[in-house]
Structure 1
Amino acid sequence: MAIPPSYADLGKSARDTFNKGYGFGLVKLDVKTKSASGVEFTTSGSSNTDTGKVNGSLETKYKWAEYGLTFTEKRNTDNTLGTEIAIEDQIAKGLKLTFDTTFSPNTGKKSGKIKSAYKRECLNLGCDVDFDFAGPAIHGSAVFGYEGWLAG
Structure 2
Amino acid sequence: MCNTPTYCDLGKAAEDVFNKGYGFGMVKIDLKTKSCSGVEFSTSGHAYTDTGKALGNLETECKNNFAPGYEAADFQLHTHVKDGTEFGGSIYQKVNEIEMPINLAWTAGSNNTRFGIAAKYKLDCRTSLSAKANNARLIGLGSTQTLRPGVKLILYQL
TM-score normalised to the size of structure 1? 0.52
Q: Deviations over 1:15-57 (max 9, x none)?
A: xxxxxxxxxxxxxxxxxxxxxxxxxxxx7xxxxxxxxxxx943
1:2-151 alignment, distance < 5 Å: 56-65=64-73, 68-77=74-83, 79-88=85-94, 90=95, 93-119=96-122, 120-132=124-136, 136-148=137-149, 149-151=151-153
How far off its partner does 1:124 sit? 2.8
Structure 1 segments (4+ residues) deviating >6 Å: none
| Alpha-carbon separation, structure 2, partners of 1:140 and 1:87 | 19
| Alpha-carbon separation, structure 1, partners of 2:143 and 2:66 | 32
| Alpha-carbon separation, structure 2, partners of 1:127 and 1:63 | 23
How far off its partner does 1:75 sit? 1.3
How far off its partner does 1:130 sit? 0.9
Q: Secondary structure at the match of 1:106?
A: coil
Q: Which amino acid aligns with 2:97?
A: G
How far off its partner does 1:105 sit? 1.7
Q: Secondary structure at the match of 2:69?
A: strand
TM-score normalised to the size of structure 2? 0.51
How far off its partner does 1:127 sit? 0.9
- Matched residue, 1:31: none
How far off its partner does 1:122 sit? 0.7
How far off its partner does 1:118 sit? 2.1
Aligned length: 91
Unaligned runs of 5+ in 1: 1-42, 44-54
| Alpha-carbon separation, structure 1, partners of 2:67 and 2:141 | 27
Q: Which amino acid aligns with 1:70?
A: Q
| Alpha-carbon separation, structure 1, partners of 2:71 and 2:133 | 24
Identity rate, percent: 10
Q: Which amino acid aligns with 1:151?
A: L
Q: Secondary structure at the match of 1:58?
A: coil
Shift of the 116–106 alpha-carbon distance from structure 1 to 2, 3 Å rule, reads same
| Alpha-carbon separation, structure 1, partners of 2:129 and 2:67 | 27
Highest Rg: 1 or 2? 2
| Alpha-carbon separation, structure 2, partners of 1:60 and 1:123 | 33
